[in-house]
Structure 1
């Protein structure tokens, strides 16, 4: 192989490495300037920090670290009680369940009250409320959300309740179905009644759906299929081996 060609290749590689290093440095400076440490994969997760590029993956990773997840909830002021481990057969149950108490998640409520979910879902819900739901409610509706209506979390079943196929994330409490929102001015927003259209309520619902995609491994809405016409499905499916996330 010609020596000049080898030198040229090495020279090009050197330039590529240098440019990548410069790009990484610029990105780090930008992230810190924006006050978004969660844009870096190695920074510890803090629920009170702004949502960054790696926030969602860090939340999903809490599936394997219940003590850390509970510590994050406590540090962020989320009120909860830990649930005892539950097993229903070989495929259903949870070991990282928490029950959010009324007044938790900085005084927001869930209806029905005392929602029980896997801890990583609770952590994502808290950030979703603070950083997505409340700002969107003020922007589009001029009021604050006081409660979130839901269809529940834990359910020992397969996807869509079929007799065969993959098990639902609900079977391990790693999912929650959001039906609507209650506002301080007395108004109620529902997915089934307000998703379609181009008014402020529909814009609000689409905004909170889009924001959920940055925090949950899976976000499914009425735009996905008829089975989700009346709720937003949010889950923390651990797809670490595949690395993909779903937002529809």
Structure 2
């Protein structure tokens, strides 16, 4: 009897293992964005491993640009820039008119590392626009920013670690302008308890799924007027900062 019981338990365990494998296989087929081994597809929704895959593109400009083209994102590749051992970039792009993106940027000449641009596109499609329609009944037409590339250390200090901005691997988002002209700014609306504040918190939280670092007014006074979004290398290992 004891041997029979062990055999039955072993068969049950094997059956559960097979069932689990089939369920995992089915989920992977339907939601490849949730699997760590699948290729990033910018045309898919944001999944469990999308953020890691985006951060991993920071030094793979050609692959990143290919993924953006495949997703219909219009852009212009920027020539490499060097400003010493700590500053400059090799894989920066600038969004262009047309393609699958309808949003505008102010100033219009935003150039970022390709991995940041790819994350911005997914953030806009799957986080910003749905949140705007939910809270205001209309889409975002324009995003205002404070720029990306700046050859400086963190907080502009004379010593210490270099900022991700020094490699165009970050962007600072200041405000969102809805279709029709309504403006929601980080500095003016973060503390609001109404739709503006809820919208800003929702898009901040959603950014944490596609960027390695997200810093907001909740972090410190230096970020009271913008969201800092970057693709620090640690993001490829799943180490993220979200405040």
Q: State TM-score, norm by structure 2.
A: 0.90
> Does structure 1 residue 194 correspond to structure 2 residue 189?
yes
**Distance apart, 1:30 and its partner CA:** 3.6
> Does structure 1 residue 64 correspond to structure 2 residue 59?
yes
CA distance in 1, matches of 2:147, 2:100: 17
Residue-by-residue CA offset, 1:161-203 (whole Å, 9 max, x unaligned): 1111111000000000000101112100100000102100100
Question: Secondary structure of the equivalent of 2:67?
Answer: helix
CA distance in 1, matches of 2:201, 2:237: 27
Residue-by-residue CA offset, 1:8-44 (whole Å, 9 max, x unaligned): 9xxx999989867754543443454xx4210001111
Residue in structure 2 matched with residue 4 of structure 1 by the alignment: none
Name stretches of at least 5 consecutive residues in structure 1 with no aligned partner: 1-7
1:87 to 78, 82, 85: 82
CA distance in 1, matches of 2:58, 2:84: 20
1:244 to 234, 239, 242: 239
Name stretches of at least 5 consecutive residues in structure 2 with no aligned partner: 1-5
> Does structure 1 residue 235 correspond to structure 2 residue 217?
no
Alignment check: 8 A CA contact 2:34 2:47 kept: yes
Residue in structure 1 matched with residue 23 of structure 2 by the alignment: 26
Q: State TM-score, norm by structure 1.
A: 0.88
CA distance in 1, matches of 2:28, 2:196: 33
**Distance apart, 1:140 and its partner CA:** 0.7
CA 1:165–1:27 in 2, change beyond 3 Å: closer, same or farther? same
Alignment check: 8 A CA contact 2:103 2:141 kept: yes
CA distance in 2, matches of 1:142, 1:54: 30
Residue in structure 2 matched with residue 225 of structure 1 by the alignment: 220
Residue in structure 2 matched with residue 73 of structure 1 by the alignment: 68
Alignment check: 8 A CA contact 1:219 1:234 kept: yes
1:150-161 equivalence runs, <5 A: 150-161=145-156
Residue in structure 2 matched with residue 5 of structure 1 by the alignment: none
Residue-by-residue CA offset, 1:24-80 (whole Å, 9 max, x unaligned): 543443454xx4210001111111101100000011111121111011111112111
* Worse-superposed segment, 105-114 or 47-56: 105-114
CA 1:107–1:22 in 2, change beyond 3 Å: closer, same or farther? same
RMSD across aligned positions (CA) = 2.3
CA 1:172–1:28 in 2, change beyond 3 Å: closer, same or farther? same
